[in-house]
């Protein structure tokens, strides 16, 4: 994608943001300020009540005072947390689809309407899973660019085991988002790129570790594949650049990638809520959150453009 096209899409998106999104944010901005003020008030009250016990020591014992202070602060922070989360969810449900409409047919899909194939994700070897892996899903986006369909799925994968004493032990395998791009091109192999490890253990017996020529890339990633020729065809220096751009656009530390069964899957490993754009502390008129979302979507568009996934070839 050249700079001209990038800027053209950018201008259209900004225009829609100013005409459609900003007016809708005005109502929520007032509500945000009210909730923010309310939160400060509750905290101040909690502080004052706590301080009172220490100014009047005769009222109750120090031990009781400390306990009550702790309870008051827990309740205050708890209330603030609930108000903040309710507000974020309300804004997301109301405004997110308008945000997405700035990017053509990008849709924020509700979980009930879209069932993600857990087996597919496990078979791609994008990250470590096993038969007892469970998945919790959050935001799901669906869109298309140049007739190529893609999805962005926020999820957490984990296993639950029981200790000898009967306690449940939850082990996280993956947290973050998966970008799933469907392609018309045929991938005969399963090629997996994972963050570099010392021993290069293969995620699957069919996948062999392969060493590419780019030394810098080799230092950061392990590449496993069932077809070394196709792995080298797919993983070029231009692809490595775009993968790096994607990583920077989403501002994450670890990224993995898998080519499997007509799909390119990119795993963004992070504990952050990637698509949270409303918070009590930040104005809804702050363009930086929208700008972040724009860069994230554009990095996906660049990946689709680079691979020319929309082209049907006879290979």
Partner 1 sequence: MNGTVLLLVVGAVVLFALYSIYVKLIKTKNKVFEALSSIDVQLKKRYDLIPNILTIANKFMEHERGLLEEIAKLRSQATKLGKGESNLSQKIQLDKMIQDKMSQFMVAVENYPQLKSDQTMLVAMQTYNEVEEHICAARRFYNSAVNELNNQVEIFPSSMVAGMIGIKRQPFFEASEAERQSISAANYLK
Output the furthest CA–CA distance in the chain (Å, rounded).
Answer: 87
- Look at the block and give the residue holding tokens 């929208």: 290
- With CB under 8 A as the contact rule, which of the stretches 108-116, 140-148, 163-171, 223-231 interacts with partner 1? 223-231
Which of 164/315 has CB closer to partner 1?
A: 315
The verdict on 214 binding partner 1 (CB under 8 A) reads: no
The verdict on 228 binding partner 1 (CB under 8 A) reads: yes
The verdict on 306 binding partner 1 (CB under 8 A) reads: no
Is the Cα dihedral 207, 213, 216, 217 positive or negative?
Answer: negative
268 forms beta bridges with 177, 255
- With CB under 8 A as the contact rule, which of the stretches 37-45, 277-285, 295-303, 306-314 interacts with partner 1? 306-314
Which of 185/269 has CB closer to partner 1?
A: 185
Out of 11, 15, 85, 312, the residue judged to bind partner 1 by CB under 8 A: 312
**Taking the complex as a whole, how short is the minimal distance between the CB of residue 232 and partner 1, in angstroms?**
4
Per-residue burial over 93-117, b if 16 or more Cβ lie within 10 Å, else e, is eebbebbbebbeebbbbeeeeeeee
The verdict on 311 binding partner 1 (CB under 8 A) reads: yes
Out of 233, 269, 270, 283, the residue judged to bind partner 1 by CB under 8 A: 233
Residues 6+ apart with CB under 8 A from 96: 108, 275
What is the number of other CB atoms lying within 10 angstroms of the CB of residue 189? 18
Out of 89, 229, 238, 248, the residue judged to bind partner 1 by CB under 8 A: 229
Out of 226, 230, 254, 292, the residue judged to bind partner 1 by CB under 8 A: 230
Residues 6+ apart with CB under 8 A from 221: 193, 194, 195, 196
- With CB under 8 A as the contact rule, which of the stretches 142-150, 208-216, 237-245, 252-260 interacts with partner 1? 208-216
Out of 93, 134, 211, 237, the residue judged to bind partner 1 by CB under 8 A: 211
Are 204 and 196 in contact by the 8 Å Cβ rule? The answer is: no
The verdict on 113 binding partner 1 (CB under 8 A) reads: no
Which of 87/307 has CB closer to partner 1?
A: 307
- With CB under 8 A as the contact rule, which of the stretches 8-16, 30-38, 76-84, 307-315 interacts with partner 1? 307-315
Out of 112, 164, 198, 315, the residue judged to bind partner 1 by CB under 8 A: 315
Which of 113/213 has CB closer to partner 1?
A: 213
Site string for partner 1, 187-206 (x = CB under 8 A): --------------------
Residue 251 CA: distances (Å) to CA of 135, 244, 299: 23, 10, 12
**Taking the complex as a whole, how short is the minimal distance between the CB of residue 293 and partner 1, in angstroms?**
33
Query: Which of 107, 102, 109 has the alpha carbon at shortest distance from 137?
Result: 109
Q: Which residues bind partner 1 (CB under 8 A)?
A: 210-213, 228-233, 308, 311-315
């Amino acid at each position: 994608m050249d700079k001209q096209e990038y800027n053209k899409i950018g201008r259209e998106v900004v225009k829609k943001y100013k005409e459609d999104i900003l007016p809708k944010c005005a109502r929520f901005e007032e509500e945000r300020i009210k909730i923010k003020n309310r939160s400060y008030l509750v905290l101040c009250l909690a502080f004052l009540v706590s301080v009172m016990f220490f100014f009047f020591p005769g009222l109750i014992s120090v031990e009781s005072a400390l306990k009550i202070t702790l309870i008051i602060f827990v309740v205050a922070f708890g209330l603030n947390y609930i108000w903040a989360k309710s507000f974020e969810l309300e804004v997301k449900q109301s405004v997110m689809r308008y945000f997405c409409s700035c990017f053509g047919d990008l849709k924020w899909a509700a979980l009930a309407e879209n069932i993600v194939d857990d087996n597919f994700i496990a078979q791609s070897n994008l990250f470590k899973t096993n038969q007892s892996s469970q998945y919790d899903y959050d935001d799901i986006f669906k869109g298309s660019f140049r007739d190529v369909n893609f999805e962005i799925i926020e999820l957490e994968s984990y296993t639950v085991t029981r200790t000898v004493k009967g306690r449940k032990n939850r082990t996280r395998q993956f947290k973050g988002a998966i970008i799933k791009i469907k392609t018309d091109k045929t991938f005969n192999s399963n090629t997996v790129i994972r963050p570099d490890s010392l021993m290069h253990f293969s995620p699957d017996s069919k996948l062999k570790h392969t060493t590419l020529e780019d030394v810098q890339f080799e230092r950061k990633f392990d590449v496993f594949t069932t077809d070394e020729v196709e792995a080298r065809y797919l993983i070029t220096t231009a692809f490595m650049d775009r993968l790096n751009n994607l990583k920077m656009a989403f501002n994450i530390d670890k990224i993995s990638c898998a080519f499997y069964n007509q799909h390119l899957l990119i795993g963004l490993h992070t504990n952050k809520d990637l698509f949270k754009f409303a918070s009590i502390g930040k104005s809804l008129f702050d363009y930086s959150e929208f700008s972040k979302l724009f860069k994230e979507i554009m990095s996906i568009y660049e990946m689709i453009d680079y691979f020319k996934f929309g082209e049907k070839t006879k290979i």
